[in-house]
Amino acid sequence: MSILVNKNSRIIVQGFTGTEGTFHATQMIEYGTQVVGGVTPGKGGSKHLERPVFNTVADAVKDTQADVSIIFVPPAFAADAIMEAAEAGIGLVICITEGIPVQDMVKAKNYLQGRATRLIGPNCPGVITAGECKVGIMPGFVFKPGKIGIVSKSGTLTYEAADQVAKAGLGISTAVGIGGDPIIGTPTKEAVELLMNDPGTEGIVMIGEIGGSMEAEAARWIKENNRKPVVGFIAGQTAPPGRRMGHAGAIIGGADDTAAAKMKIMAECGITVVQTPAEIGSTMAKVLKK
């Protein structure tokens, strides 16, 4: 089992013929992902990577029955791409683009309200169900099939956690990189809830960072609904207050935004908190045996 994507998912790539879209679509196809076509306005009717190119998402959906879209569109146009995918009835939109203006994302998120479209990202590495489907930019070889789910704000730490879990003799069901921007489509709690309800996931790794309240909200939900062991890590433990660290959303704005405060809340809510990413895999192996 898995969440969000699987071997039957039908993916289109928005920004298909651009440099990033081409490179990562090639990697996704090599992984075995069902990339059924792509969208580049003005190039409809052509072929790229032996797949059809369409002028609009609506045309792509009509012709290919795609249900997932991944977006490699420049920041100025990415929010419009998200809304176009939702308007066309795409169920899952994964936006890789970094640097989308906040006001554009406010508009896009409001547009999604009440629609049957889930957004992952933006500024995220994507989603991978190990051994079945990769919709993103993550190195697929790191993700060995198994029963541990990952929810992470950080792409690099997602890969590190997957590697640690594999080295501990475990594997990954689905890993979700939710994105590090201030406004994202799917917060930590919702991604954790999906994994908690997935019968194919036996344990969850939750990776957060300084800034915002998503980790605390997820921790409090876990306290009330926990049915599986959760191992947590917070990046940015030495970050100075008031300075953005890497991701646009990684800035300490108050006492509860610090790594120490989040780790304390997580521990109080029953999450096993580790001090370094290197402990994630071994710690998960231990808590699964309890």
Residues annotated as catalytic are 247
Q: Name the residue type at position 223.
A: K
Length of the chain: 290
CA distance linking residue 201 with residue 166, whole number of Å? 15
Q: Which two tokens stand for residue 103?
A: 């006001």
* Strand partners of residue 226: none
Q: Are 130 and 173 in contact (CB under 8 A)?
A: yes
**Can you list the positions of beta strands (E) in the chain?**
11-14, 35-39, 47-48, 51-54, 68-71, 92-95, 118-120, 126-129, 133-136, 145-152, 172-177, 203-209, 230-235, 272-273
User: d(Cα 86, Cα 218) in Å, to the nearest integer?
Assistant: 26
- Residue 204 CA to residue 40 CA, distance in Å, equals 37
Q: How far apart are the first and last CA of the chain?
A: 23
